Structure 1
Amino acid sequence: MTLPRDAGEPVEERLRKLEKINRALMGRVERSTDFSVNGFSLFQTAILLEGQVSARTSDLKRTLEDLSDAYARLEDARDDAETAKQNLTSAIEAVSEGFALFNDAEELVMCNTPFRALLPDIEAKLLPGTSFPRIAELFAQSRHLVLDQHRSTDAWRKARIELFRKPNAAFIQKLSGDRWIQVSNKKTDTGATVVFQTDITDIVRAERVRRERELDEQSQILQATLDHLPQGIAMFSKDMRLKAWNHRFIDLLSLPLRLVAPLAGFERLWEWAGKSVFAQDRKGRERIAAWIRSPAADLDPVELTRTDGSILSVSGKVMPDGGIVVSFADVTEERRASDALRDAKETLEQRVEERTVELTREVIERRAIEVELIKARDKAEELTKSKTRFLAAASHDVLQPLNAARIFLSLLDGTGLDLRQQHFAGKVDKAFGSVEEVLGTLLDISRYDSGSVEANIVPASVAEILSTLAAEFQPLADQKQLSLRCRPSDLFALSDARLLRQIVQNLISNAIRYTARGGVLVGARRRGQTISIEVWDTGPGIPEDKRDFIFEEFRRLGQDQPDAPKGAGLGLAIVRRIARLLDHRIEIRSRLGKGSRFAIEVPLCASPEREVKRQAEVERLPVDLASFTAIVIENDLVILEGMMELLQERGMRAIPAVSVGEALETLQSLEKTPDLIIADYHLDQGTGTEAIAALRSAVGHAIPAIAVTADYTTKVQAEVRRYGIAYLRKPIKTGELFALIHKVIAP
């Protein structure tokens, strides 16, 4: 049902209006009864009025009924609103947080008990209708509110009102009894303001405990760090109270433990130290005390002398919070060394002055000494430069007698010796062979140590090196009844083929020498970008503590045992030196009683391009030497005689010469050009290559020639090859000599 527009008005007021209308109608009826009018007209008027009154009365009854219903509904609405208000109040009271509602005029509408109970002394004054500025003033004056020491009551009140008028705001406030609340307010869409006050005391206390625990842990870490420092460290608060220290601080200042405690005053500690430890250093003590009283800046190091004579360096630093850190370091040894140095300097200066006076008189002598020193330096440099030449000459002089002996032994073997003589000659030949090997190795070591050996790094065929060496050592392995197996590889190593061959040769020789039964395996395998060339044996093995020992000169395992293999102990010394020269790594693995493995690691490289031979070379057959003439140039008459005998024994015509001049003179008297020139490289005047070049120039063409030398350096070999001359190493072996002769003179 729809209510009339005035349904919201009080019922009494509506009834009063209706009665007023009724009286007006009745008066109108009475005034309209005029006896001067005829009776019928009155009758009609009466009937009309009765109908109108009846209609109005019906309307009035309906209106009264509607008003009654509206009043009933209004009462129900009032009851519902009151119930809702009571429910809202109960709900707000049930909230544990403080709650307050202010209207748009900043007047308190309602608040709950927790809101009022936070500040008991103003609880009774928090009444509805109170303005917020008044409530802020009451809060500021409460004895339960704890303000910052630099904040006044009026300043707090103004700040609170300012925050209240913001759309959203929050802050944390401390209360008495170590209580804390978080206050927040928020504007509603209608302009009202809701304020919440949450008790966060438990959270603040828990956070405080956590921070205290963290600080305690940090304090322990700091203390452990301080205790490990060599300096004495003491930290003081802004009011000069001891906060932290280490044991070194106590030791250096000799402080009694009863004085060293948290919050101990600096003055007391320093007073005790000044009287007992630094009693003799008043000036330094007062300087530090003055800085402590007003530490405006860091303290530069100050040295204090203890009563026992030791010296402490004291420095200080001002912390951001106004506290200080003081460090004490014992610098006694440094100062003693410094004093000793200063004394030495003063003494030296005095001696220099005295010596200067003496040198004034000896200046000429000193200049002469300087000149001699310069000459000595130049001489030493020249000796260093000529070391290679000296080694070459030394090898020549050492091997010359040995070369002569080998030549005459070869001649002696063809003189029809009986069996006993042949036996003795063989023994002598073996002895000379051993001497030759030792001397050659020693000279090699000298050349490697002097740096006169230069490596020619080119691609080298691993298969060619290993196969050749296996064939050479096979007879020696067969003689000892050992198996010698070779597992070559088609890989190419970036190395010096000659020097790499010498390394592997020495390793195989050692393996066969020290292996009594079983065998030796030689092979190569690829490892990434390197090749591992390996020699395995089934020998006695090498103890781990002897694996460096065996690479030293004249070192052999078991050399004190009567049945130990014979050798000079130089093979591995050569191996190590060549490996260093080539920058190749040597690896050893060994098990006692099982055997050993030596490996040399060399860089891997691509296979070089080789020229395809047009046709297979036919092996040349030895030629008859009876129709050939040879000029032999040798400045050693004994060796010259031996060479003549060797050549003539094979039917050749040999013409001797001790120099290039004599050879040229002999050449003019010959009926035909000689077929061969054999020249010693080291002559009294010039070299063998120069002598051969001179003879070739004299005849107008290149006579086949052989240079014989004990100089194995790369430089000499390169020079010989540059002249197109064959190269033969001393001591001369008869077989090698004649094989080379057949090679150079064969058509």
Structure 2
Amino acid sequence: MIDPADTPEEQIRKQGKIIDALIRRMNRQHELGNSAYATFQSAVSLQAQMWAQSRDLERTTSELATVRIERERSRKNLTSALAAMEGGFALFNRGLLEVSNELFQTLLPDISPRIMPGLTIDEYIEAMLSSDDLVGTDGRLFGALAQARRSVVGTAVNAVVAELTGDRFFQVNLQRTSEDNMVILLTDISRIVLQNRSEKENLIDRQANYLQAVFQNMTSGVCTFDGHGRVKMYNQRFRQLLGLPYTLLQTGAELDHLFQHVKAHAVFEDEDGFDVGFWMERLHKQGRFRTRLRHANGRVLDMHSHVLPDGGFVVDLGDVSAEIRTAEMLENRVAERTAELTEANARLRQQYEEKARVEEKLREAKEAAEAAVSSKTRFLAAASHDLLQPINAAKLLISTIKDATQDAPVGPMVERLQASFTSTEQLLHALLDISRLDSADASALQPSDVCLGTLIQGVYEDQKRVAEQKGVQLDVVPTMVFVRSDPVYLLRSIQNLVVNAIQYTPSGGRVLVGCRRRGDDVVLEVWDTGIGITLADQSRIFEEFTRAGNVPIGSGVGLGLSIVERTCRHMGHSVSVKSKPGVGSVFSIRMEMVIGQLPKPEERVPAGIDETQSLDLIVLVVEDDPSVLFAMVKKLEQWGASVLGASSTAEAIGFVQDMGIPPDIILADYQLEGSDTGFNAIGSIRQLTGMRVPAIMITADRGDHLLRMGGENGFPVLTKPVRLRKLRPLIEWLTREEMVPLDTIGTDQSRQ
């Protein structure tokens, strides 16, 4: 019933009312009750409660007195602290002034009576702004107040500077200290402001002196005028350039008087530049004016005028006499140089025309040379068939004669004759290869994935007998690595390296062929224990018709290595040699290895066939050259074969029709009479007999397209002059199985 938060007086008043109510209740109960003892008990109980309440009231009154004493002490301490502050301080609670110090109250004497507790903060700022002691503020007091009201508790507010009479300056800071309280601090900053002002004035004075010194020492003449054309400031250079007397050029002198003096003394040739009216009109329209003045003594001045922000203008005079003289001198030099360049240009034009004539002659010579090379290439290509045909016939006849006269006295002579034709054949092949490589284009070389092991094995089987005859041990290291190269020319390159190694290795020596891996590349190496090559010869042996100095006479014409170098250069391979005279040599070809290519099973022609056995076969030879046809027939008959010699496809078909059976094998030349070809002969006979008759194409054409056509039609292609030690094993290998019908899917394809 009694709120502890009430004041003690209020609590005593409420307790008195409670006691009165209890006494009245007791009286009523006494009047109505039958027992005086009950009434007495109630009175005793009520009196005990009253004594308890009295003790509580006395204790509360004592505590309240203590609080009042502490509060008064705190107020005095606060007042003492505020009085000791250097600046003014005021605390506004809920927008009303609650406490302030003396400085805050007396800072503005004319409004001091109004600064009393309960004054609103807005009223204080209005009174402050209306004070006669306030000179001014920067006009942001109410803005700062609004910002302080919106700010978060404890956030500082930008200070506002107030200027008072007597050069006094105070900084007014407003800050919220709680949701209901706001503090105003007044800080005296007069000393700081006056010090800054003094420093600023000193700085301005020093800058003015500095600018004056710079102004007087400028190389150009400068003079400033006000809006009425009167002199405000000038330097001595301006007076000297215009030739003005000291008495005339003074502060306040008029521009018109200065120009009249200049025109009166005829100092400058151009008097239009000193028309004041013209000057002012140009300045008002354009904001600037520029003219060039020529002095009577030859001096040239550039005059510039610019409008200033205050409505006046500045005139700048610059002596450009030296620049003018330099420009004139440069113009003269440019004119002289132009004349020289014109003359030089004429000479260059003449030289250019002469060069053009020379280039035209060189172009004609180049075209003639290219035509000659092209003619040479066409001649060699066209003549290859005619050159190889008689050589092929001669080789066949020589081989036949050699076999027939082995034990005769003329046998050694026949062997020498065969060796001479072999050298002629090799030289002709080398010349044709160089011709094709010199004119190589995108279609001359056909790169593909080539198995090095297959090429090396083929060279080994081809040169093994030659090495054995010379007493040289030829070994190869098996490999199945693949490279990207032209198979035909890479085979010839390997063959040239092996042939050279055997040729220049004495009896009892050794030749080794193998491969090494170098990262993503593979290096094919041909080692020998031959005569070796000197260091001087190693840099030139890849040139045409070049041999090492220690090579015996008659060992060749020096074209094999040139063919190897050309092939590797066109295919992007690198060829190198390491050698030591008397020890041996190693030739290397470095090529990019093809990763992921698996070796394909390949059935090779068996080597070492017994040639003493009779070749019991019916062989159809299709050749339009009578000499070659005669020689081939004789050689095959010497081997024991029954031979049908035809000069055309029609004659071959007639032979087969007369026999009534297909031949065991067909040997056909590619180029027959007219448009007839060996392809026509082989295809016609296969169609006539309905059997896949084995066939070999023998041609002087060394084009790669014939190899591809042979592979597509199921027969191998040999080039002329044909190698007999390769021809007979190939015939026996192709005829070892029975012929199959033409519509059978091809076992012949596996024999390529």
Question: What TM-score results when the alignment is normalised by the length of structure 2?
Answer: 0.48
TM-score by length of 1: 0.48
